[in-house]
Amino acid sequence: MTDLARLDLIGHAELIRRGEATALELLDAAIARIEAARDLNAVICDLFDRARDQAAGPLGDGPLAGAPFLLKDLGGTIAGVPERMGSVALREHVPAETSVVVGRYLAAGLVVAGKTNTPEWGNHCTTEPVLFGPTVNPRAPGRSPGGSSGGSAAAVAAGLVPAASGGDGTGSIRVPAACCGVIGLKPARGRKTFAPDAGHLLEGLVNEHALTRTVRDCAALLDATAGGVPGDPYTAPPPAEPWLRALERDPDPLRIAWTADGPFESTTDPEARAAVEQAARMLEGLGHRLEPGAPSFDTEAVVDAVAVLHQVSNLDLYALAEEVLGRPPERDELEPTAWEMLEEGRSVSGARYAGAIAAVHAQGRRFAQGLADLRADVLLVPTLLTGGPPPLQHLNQPRGSTQEFFRVEFATTGWTAMANVSGFAAMSLPLGATADGLPVGVQLMAPEETVLLKVAAQLERAGALRF
């Protein structure tokens, strides 16, 4: 019998096309897995009745049609369905419109069974909101599942669904992918629209995609959802061919720069270092040229700019909460990190905000030019600098200032934020493990997605992906 808990989205859709199962049968099997795993606290909003209606209707014949799917409860808006963003202050928030990207998921025939847990406003690289409580990492109970897409990563790692959506502003897809031992791609800047609500988020730092168990699902989801809409401020250039088709061929030999060191003031755990070194050897064995080296940039300028952008973003979310509540949120309706960012954000001047945007652009260009100077096609680095997932109650704590909060975060996440700052595509793959069997993610970065997906598929075919 087919093990549905290990079958990917495309595999589910193939069962339906061959007449071996119906979408409703596959959905009910996923619902049973969700119900049996409530202790993970990964799914915090059930959409079972809505999903059954969807599964019973026409789904099309695309590569994903009929497969069960989950949406992160931050950015994955469906008209009339609550979107709480992990915040007590937004517990009554119900969007009036469905986002264009979610509409594309539905048009591809994905059956949305529910929404996944996320930290308040996506502020943390761990998923421990006061509103719903922490999500359990199924690979490492007692350790962080990562964030802010931790509920999605945990659901995929536990086999509740084959894939789930995520969003990434400083690593929020790749960090939980590394913590939970799944695949996480942050697309290039401008790859997807944020319509109808926004032109971009965090001045271009944020990108939306998914957590998956196979590379082909990652590519198929990108094919289904990429592209802008009229009026978007900018869009990424379209690929030469569909990403799913591109995976059928190994990449030409690439020049890959690599380092196991982090760019900020931090130390790489020996097991994270060993995972990167092993990945470098594997890639060299596959015919690629590996050269030590990495771009440099002004780390303090990045910390300060990212902090300022988050301070102002929290002010915007505070205004949304005030609108939803009909009054200003009270102190106990927001978590300490949000209050810290809000209090500092109120003193940010227009000139300081403009300076933060300019700093992000300047350091992003410096990073990109550094990789070009190395004549590298791809950068290979750790996803996290820790040996396995970091502890709980670490990445969600206020630090006295937003800048210090991000210094602590970046000391753990290392290179992840630079893909957001530069606009590069970046992908975390489960290529390593600690001595006690915990997942260790390894990260690839490049200006666009095709080369990353082709390398990832090559590693997958070589049997290099763990978990």
* Angle, CA of 346, 350 and 353, to the nearest 5°: 80
Residue 248 phi, psi dihedral angles, 5° rounding: -70, -15
Tokens 């695949």, located at residue: 183
72 carries an active-site annotation: yes
148 carries an active-site annotation: yes
Instruction: Indicate the residue type of 93.
Output: H
User: Edge-to-edge strand order for the sheet containing 378-382?
Assistant: 43-46, 111-116, 68-72, 163-168, 207-212, 183-186, 425-433, 439-446, 378-382, 255-258, 289-292
99 carries an active-site annotation: no
Give the distance, in angstroms, between the CA of residue 68 and the centroid of all CA atoms in the same chain.
19
For the four alpha carbons of 130, 156, 153 and 122, in that order, the dihedral sign comes to negative
Q: Give the separation between CA 338 and CA 434, rounded to whole angstroms.
A: 33
Options 172, 313, 422, 428, the catalytic residue: 172
Options 72, 115, 186, 192, the catalytic residue: 72
Q: Is 97 exposed, middle or buried (0-12, 13-18, 19+ CB in 10 A)?
A: middle
Instruction: List Cβ neighbours of 174 (8 Å cut-off, separation of 6 or more).
Output: 168, 184, 186, 383, 416, 419, 426, 427, 428, 441, 443
Options 87, 99, 144, 148, the catalytic residue: 148
**Nearest partner of 188 among 455, 381, 444, judged by Cα:** 444
Active site residues: 72, 148, 172
